[in-house]
Amino acid sequence: MQLLQTTDKDFSTKFKALVNDRREATVDVSGTVREILADVKVRGDAAVHDYTSRFDHYHPESLRLSETFIAELAAKCPKDVTAALELAAERIAAFHEKQLPQDIGYTDTVGVRLGLNWVALSKVGIYVPGGRASYPSSVLMNALPAKIAGVDRIVMTVPMPRGEINPAVLAAAKIAGVTEIYGIGGAQAIAALAYGTETIAPVDKIVGPGNAYVAEAKRQVFGTVGIDSIAGPSEILVVADDKNNPEWIAWDLLSQAEHDPSAQSILITDSAEFAQKAIASVEQVLNKLATKSVATASWEKHGAVIIVNDLAESIPLINQLAPEHIELCIDNPQLLASEIKCAGSLFLGRYTPEAIGDYLGGPNHVLPTSRSARFASGLSVYDFLKRITYLECNQQALQQIGQAAVTLAEAEGLPAHGGSVAIRLRD
């Protein structure tokens, strides 16, 4: 863990190193992934079965999970978990329904009719991690926006190590309206979704997080299909003053550190005394966690505490870090929030822990990482919609604007372009 203070002579150097801290996997898996993708593209189901047997030690008769199997497993989900998933789905759906855009259409002053229509994607694949990182909340966050956007076919793949699957994942899939589920994972699942197999029809876009192999597979199939993003390790930045309970802040910092040894947790405060209290609280809370080893590795290698002269000084630091999650545990957080231009999602006030957003706040928890919040946004309904524009000229409208098009076509040396307009102007 680094302790930085903006008054330090070497602060700029240390902060730049923090900003440039590359936490993504350093092992090059591109060659292995390329081979898997090519194999699945050629051999289809047979290749997927082979990789599923090799990596997951699972030998399914059918890649697709039957409705009976899904219903039986989903019924084993504890009732309180199912109820919590239903509440989460209700809140997530309510927020995303408000994102649905309106079509645009109008006639301009020369009589040209023009506009824009929003159209849902036809078929989408959702990758859900299995094993230790099996998160039913991710099913809701990925599938519900697709359903609300109007996607007809929502296909989910989830690895089943040794044939096992978390019943809560299947319960979440039923709640969210997933239409097909396949018990496969890894790069082979991405290949099947992108290229199709005898059993799995290809999709138009793939969303959802995964390990380094999944991330690289998504990168390589982009262009054949759309993707949401390349997810990196989790991040949280907490801005807190000395009015906070330091133990609260410690839990918040560790809520992301426990995800991954490469996760990053940063505290910015205007109180040196509070900084020390928070650091001490982190050490105490770590000893209470079942995820202690992962969280400790993250905190020790990538954690940071930054002491600023005043909270306003945190704004340029935040915008350079462009973190996935930002908690503003201060009075009047809206004032600081209005100056933040680069963030995945904001959590305002002392009673809004980031974990609420992870599960059932409403906004999506699939957010930009690795400083991509500088140019990217979290998953939304818009990720499952396309815009199609249209134009309609009548004869009178074309007479008014057509000659300018001919002039520009001639200037660009494209005679057929100009000719297609000019012939209509003559007739």
Q: Which of 21, 133, 29, 130 is nearest to 369 (CA)?
A: 21
Helix (H, G, I), strand (E, B) or coil at 359: helix
List, in sequence order, the alpha helices (H) in 212-271.
212-221, 246-257
Q: Known catalytic residue: 57?
A: no
Question: Is position 358 annotated in a ligand binding site?
Answer: yes
DSSP-assigned letter for residue 291: T
Question: Is position 325 annotated in a ligand binding site?
Answer: yes
Question: Is position 211 annotated in a ligand binding site?
Answer: yes
Q: In whole angstroms, give the CA distance from residue 170 to residue 166.
A: 7
Q: Which residue among the candidates 49, 302, 325, 365 is catalytic per the annotation?
A: 325
Interhelix angle 45-56/30-43, rounded to 10 degrees, is: 140
Q: How far is CA 393 from the centre of its chain?
A: 41
Question: Is position 417 annotated in a ligand binding site?
Answer: yes
Tokens of 377: 């946004």
Question: Is position 188 annotated in a ligand binding site?
Answer: yes
Helix (H, G, I), strand (E, B) or coil at 77: coil
Q: Which of 112, 182, 129, 189 is nearest to 153 (CA)?
A: 182
Residues in the chain: 427
Question: Is position 256 annotated in a ligand binding site?
Answer: yes
Q: Which of 183, 226, 191, 158 is nearest to 43 (CA)?
A: 191
293, 253 Cβ separation under 8 angstroms = no
First-last CA distance in the chain: 76
Q: Known catalytic residue: 365?
A: no
Question: Is position 259 annotated in a ligand binding site?
Answer: yes
SS (H, E, C) 160-215: CHHHCCCHHHHHHHHHHCCCEEECCCHHHHHHHHHHCCCCCCCCCEEECCCCHHHH
Question: Is position 234 annotated in a ligand binding site?
Answer: yes
Torsion of CA 360, 366, 372, 374, to 10 degrees: -40
Q: In whole angstroms, give the CA distance from residue 353 to residue 363.
A: 14
User: Beta strand pairing status for 113-120 and 304-307?
Assistant: unpaired
Tokens of 415: 């005679």
Q: What angle do CA 184, 292, 15 make, to 5 degrees?
A: 95
Q: Which residue among the candidates 216, 324, 327, 354 is catalytic per the annotation?
A: 324
**Strands across the sheet containing 180-182:** 180-182, 153-157, 123-127, 205-207, 226-227
Tokens of 279: 């650091």
Question: Is position 57 annotated in a ligand binding site?
Answer: no
Residue numbers belonging to the annotated binding site: 127, 188, 211, 234, 256, 259, 325, 358, 412, 417
Binding residues for NAD(+): 127, 188, 211
Provide the annotated active-site residues: 324-325
- The annotation places the binding site for Zn(2+) at 256, 259, 358, 417
